[in-house]
Amino acid sequence: MKINEVTEAVRPGYADDPKMRQIANLGRKLMDMSAKMPMGKGVSDEEIDKSNKMSAFGDALTRFGTDFGPKNMAELVKTARVTPEEAKEFLAMAQKAPEPELKGNDVEPEEPEADDEFDAPDDDAMAAKADRMARGR
């Protein structure tokens, strides 16, 4: 088999399709909205149920059109266990939601390492120092 036969046989990935990427982004928005809903004391069962369904529907949207995801609206509704009315409501909510704010990496940059790694004390010297300290010398 030649390489061009292999590359032609592979179907285009869903990540390359702008429509599929947009649908997946709507799903991510819904999951994010669900995660940020207040779930403290006094929240009704209906609100908790709505949050759970919103998250499940968002998850199904992120897999829409993939090999193991729903392929059409009927499968989408069935997979997420929502009614068609709830699906329409959630889609409208996701479309109105602002784009998520991208944050930079909050990790502090590491100090550059010393140029000479052999400049530090060796293991034997450190062990001897630890022994002396343990004995109170």
CA angle 7, 10, 16 (to 5 degrees): 105
- Give the domain ranges of the chain: 3-96
Strand segments (E) across the chain: none
Query: Whose CA is closest to 76, among 64, 68, 94?
Result: 64
pLDDT in tens, 34-90: 988 888 788 888 999 999 999 999 999 999 888 888 888 899 999 999 999 999 999
Q: Give pTM, 2 decimals.
A: 0.63
Task: Report, as an integer, the average pLDDT of 105-111.
Answer: 64
